[in-house]
Chains A and B, each alone.
Chain A
Amino acid sequence: MTHHHSSNKRTEQPPTLSTRVLAEIEREQVVPRPRWTYVAANRALWVTAVLAIAVAALAAAATIFILANAGWQYASATHGTVFALLLAVLPSVWLVALIVFALVGYWNIRHTTHGYRYPLPLVVAGVVLLALLSGAALFAAGLGQGVEEGLGRHLPFYRPFLDQERSWWLDTSQGLLVGNIISLAPDLSSFTLRTSSGKVWRIDASDLRIADFSVLARGGLVRVVGVPRSATSTVPFHACFVFPWQIYGAFPVPIPPIAAFTASTSEIISRGARSELCRGVRPYQSLRALEPNE
Chain B
Amino acid sequence: METNDPGHRIYRHGVRMDAQDLTDELIAHRALLDKEQFAVLIDRYAEKLTRYLWRLGVSVREDREDLLQNAFLNAYRNLNSFDSTLSFSSWIYRVVHNEAMSFFRRKKSRPEVKLDAEGESLFFAIEDEQADASASTELRLSSEELSRALDVLSEKYREILALRFFEERSYAEISDILQMPIGTVSTMIHRAKRALRKQLGNRLP
Contacts and interface: CB of A to CB of B under 8 A. Distances in A.
Interface residues of B, number: 29
Given A17-B65, A18-B39, 18 more contacts: A17-B72, A18-B42, A19-B39, A21-B39, A21-B73, A22-B35, A22-B36, A22-B39, A28-B73, A30-B73, A34-B80, A35-B80, A37-B80, A38-B81, A113-B83, A116-B179, A118-B181, A119-B183
Chain B contact residues, majority secondary structure: helix
How many chain A residues sit at the interface, stated as a range, is 20 to 34
Interface string B57-94: 00000000100110011001111110101000000000
Given A21-B73, A33-B78, A38-B81, A117 B175 contact: yes
B20 interface: no
Given A16-B43, A32-B79, A21 B181 contact: no
Contacts of B65: 17
A74 to B, nearest CB: 48
Interface string A270-293: 000000000000000000000000
29 contacts: A17-B43, A17-B68, A17-B69, A17-B72, A18-B40, A18-B46, A21-B38, A21-B39, A22-B36, A22-B38, A24-B69, A24-B73, A25-B76, A28-B73, A30-B76, A31-B77, A32-B76, A32-B78, A32-B80, A33-B80, A35-B81, A38-B78, A38-B80, A38-B81, A114-B85, A116-B181, A117-B175, A117-B181, A117-B182
Contacts of A35: 80-81
Indicate the member of A21, A28, A113, A114 with the most B CB atoms within 10 Å: A21
A131 B32 CA distance: 41
A257 B113 CA distance: 67
A119 B181 contact: yes
A33 B75 CA distance: 10
Interface in B1-59: 32, 35-36, 38-40, 42-43, 46
B77 A32 contact: yes
B80 A21 contact: no
Contacts of B80: 32-35, 37-38
The list of the 6 closest CB pairs from A to B, nearest first, reads: A116-B179, A18-B42, A18-B39, A35-B80, A32-B79, A119-B181
Contacts of B39: 18-19, 21-22
Interface string A1-30: 000000000000000111111101100101
B184 A119 contact: yes
Contacts of B182: 117
A24 B36 CA distance: 12
A32 B82 CA distance: 11
B180 interface: yes
Given A17-B42, A30-B76, A38-B81, A116 B175 contact: yes
A119 B76 CA distance: 30
Given A35-B80, A113-B83, A18 B181 contact: no
A83 to B, nearest CB: 39
A210 interface: no
Nearest to B35: A25
Contacts of A116: 175, 179-181
A24 B65 CA distance: 14
Nearest to B74: A30
Contacts of A30: 73, 76-77
Contact of B72 (A21, A32, A113): A21
